[in-house]
Amino acid sequence: MKYTKIFVAFLLFALINISFVKGANDGHDHGHDDHHAAFDPGATAIHHISDANVYSILDAVRIPLPMILYSKDKGLEMFSSGKFHAGHHEDGHNSYNGYVLHHGSVHRVADAGFPMEGSVEIEGFSHKEEEVNGKKRDIYFAKYQGKEFRLDARSTMDGGILGGGFTSFIDFSITKNVVSMILVSLLLIWLFRRAAVAYSKNPDKAPSGAQGIIEPILLFIRDDVAIPFIGKKYATFLPFLLSVFFFILGLNLWGQVPFLGSVNVTGSLSVTMVLAILVFILVNVNGNGHYWGHIFWMPGVPVPIKILLACVEVMGLFIKPLTLMLRLAGNISAGHIAILSFIGLIFIFGKSGESLGGSLVGTAVSIPLTMFMMAIEIIVAFVQAFVFTILTASFIGAATEEHHHDHEHAEGIHH
């Protein structure tokens, strides 16, 4: 009976995921026409794992989020993303003060002649490939009164690497990733608060409820991660390790629930980059003389080798947080993309709704694959939180380790 309930739960999740992605096949021409275009699994997957200025649930409920935009000519502007009247793929049906919403991200119209004040209805979006500095890039246009008006790229400080760039405006808006982080943080605070109150009221009783969830994980991080890798100073860094673990785990699990927006917070490089920078700062601020001495002047080796090793070690200072950032984002995003790709088999086999038999075959193939991948993703959620935490502990341990530890260890082996 227990396994039947688990199977039904996963089946329900898979069907919800399918219904969530089904909207990707409707209005896929990025405009507002009713006809069906060819299903693009790659574009659909990338769209559903990307951040957005609208919180969408099951592609049916769209919760507007605060827009906070700054430009030199207009200054700071604040309004709701509901002004865009988002539809399929979070494409706005309206522009507002010269801004439009395309694939959930805000863009600004760059061409003259477009109404830059108030709300106007637009006819959809189009894009073309243009060569910029020897590289092909997608340039997007908003359609208004039969004309195409070029859009600025998304406002991101990535130099164009992630599809955005330095534009005529800066976007400080609250996105669905930010909302998800706030919600998960509040949920964790509530959970830990309940556990703390239970401990204070019943210190001598066996853990139950929230305590039963938190205590085994806390003891595991302390006894099998912090103490072995950091040693005597583990208590100083244990709060940070626990915060990182539970924050990443909470976001990973939150992203597994499709009807909560199917968010991909820890699959976002901007989020994992901030986590990696915090680890980088913590490790190097607490690094002792022995740690820095091994980086810049390795003892016991010839001077030319010292210089070569110093270059390698300095590179390692930045490579370590870089690998933390890329590993977490890559693994979480890959799982989401795999699930969405399996669901896309329904529309690929069914030729975007033209073949009922193909759709049935695609559904029969998609559901078990999706269920299997979702089960794997739950394991990955825990594993990636643990990997990030244990690597952080190892970096901290290497930076704070005292020089005499090696001699004491050697003497212990000798005796």
Q: Express each pLDDT in 129-145 by its tens digit.
A: 877 666 777 788 999 98
**Average pLDDT estimate for 170-198:** 91
Sort residue 69 into left (φ over 0), alpha (ψ -120 to 50) or beta: beta
The confidence band for 20, taking pLDDT boundaries of 50, 70 and 90, is very low
Amino acid at 20: F
Strand partners for 132: 135
* DSSP track, 82-114: GGG-B-GGG-BSEEETTEEEETTEEEEB-STTS
Amino acid at 2: K
For the chain, give percent helix, strand, coil, nearest 5. Answer: 60, 15, 25
| Range in 9-18, 242-251, 280-289 with the lowest mean pLDDT | 9-18
Domain map of the chain by residue range? 64-173, 179-414
Query: 354 φ, ψ to 5°?
Result: -80, -30
- Sign of the CA dihedral running 291, 295, 297, 302: positive
For residues 237 and 396, the answer to whether their CB atoms sit within 8 Å is: yes
Amino acid at 211: Q
Question: What pLDDT does 415 receive?
Answer: 42
**How far is the CA of 57 from the CAs of 16, 19, 240, in angstroms?**
10, 11, 32
Give the contacts of 176 (CB within 8 A, at least 6 positions apart): 51, 52, 53, 54, 55, 56, 65, 104, 261, 263
Coil, strand or helix: which one is 370? helix
Identify the burial level of 384 via C-beta atoms within 10 angstroms of its C-beta, where 0-12 means exposed, 13-18 middle and 19 or more buried.
buried
For residues 82 and 101, the answer to whether their CB atoms sit within 8 Å is: no
Stated as kind and residue range, the H or E segment containing 221 is helix 210-221
**Average pLDDT estimate for 338-347:** 79
Amino acid at 343: I
Give the contacts of 108 (CB within 8 A, at least 6 positions apart): 71, 98, 99, 100, 151, 152, 167, 168, 169
Question: What pLDDT does 43 receive?
Answer: 64
Question: What pLDDT does 246 receive?
Answer: 96
Q: Express each pLDDT in 65-122 by its tens digit.
A: 999 999 888 899 999 999 999 887 788 999 999 999 988 889 999 888 899 999 999 9
Instruction: Work out the angle at residue 312's Cα, subtended by the Cα atoms of residues 240 and 272, and round it to the nearest 5 degrees.
Output: 35
